[in-house]
Amino acid sequence: MSIDFSAQLHLGRFDYDATFTAQREILVLFGHSGAGKSVTLQAIAGLIRPQAGHIDGDGVTVFDSSKGLDLPPQRRNVGYVVQDLALFPHMSVAENVAFGVARGVDRQMRTAELLGLLGLQGFEHRMPRTLSGGQQQRVALARALARDARVLLLDEPFSAL
């Protein structure tokens, strides 16, 4: 996986300007609180739009301000686990995971596969509020993995463990 990232944006009193290129399977963004790590992940995922810059992954451009290109999140083939996990409180564990399964894939089979992979068998009908922080994090990870995305973004991945 390679990424070529350059983005500038202004968020309130926060000016963000980051540029990097990486040719790695695993890339870690490390910095102090407020440095812009989450902003970087949100820009890659398509959840925020930089005022200027470009984002390319494996030679595929998903954002380029000079060309007016900004692929929506659902077309970026990215799995993303946000800091607060963002589980749907009205959905069971299985429903939360199945929500992430791509069209054309057997939802029930893929959901069962991911629940097994992450040690969540027997939790299918539980609601998020009844789970520990680590269990909630595994559900969020399963939902992100359900898409078979090219890229998996984890924001504060060890916060609930």
From residue 23, alpha-carbon distances to 4, 26, 101, 154 in Å are 9, 9, 28, 18
Look-up of token digits 């924001």:
155
Q: Distance (Å, rounded) from C-alpha 130 to C-alpha 136?
A: 9
State the pTM of this model. Answer: 0.88
Q: Distance (Å, rounded) from C-alpha 112 to C-alpha 150?
A: 21
Q: 3-state class of 50 per DSSP?
A: coil
Q: 3-state class of 70 per DSSP?
A: strand
Could you tell me how far CA 119 lies from the centroid of its own chain?
Answer: 21
Q: Distance (Å, rounded) from C-alpha 154 to C-alpha 16?
A: 20
Q: In 68-125, which ranges are continuous DSSP H helix?
A: 93-99, 107-117
Q: How much is the pLDDT for 105? A: 86
**133-145 and 107-117 are packed helices; what angle lies between their axes, rounded to 10 degrees?**
140
Q: 3-state class of 78 per DSSP?
A: strand
- Give pLDDT tens digits along the chain (161 positions): 789 999 999 988 999 999 999 998 888 999 999 899 999 999 999 999 999 999 999 889 999 999 999 999 989 999 999 988 899 999 999 999 999 998 888 999 999 999 999 999 999 999 999 999 999 999 999 999 998 888 999 998 877 55
What is the DSSP code (8-state) at residue 102?
A: P
Residue 20: name the closest of 152, 47, 35 by CA: 35
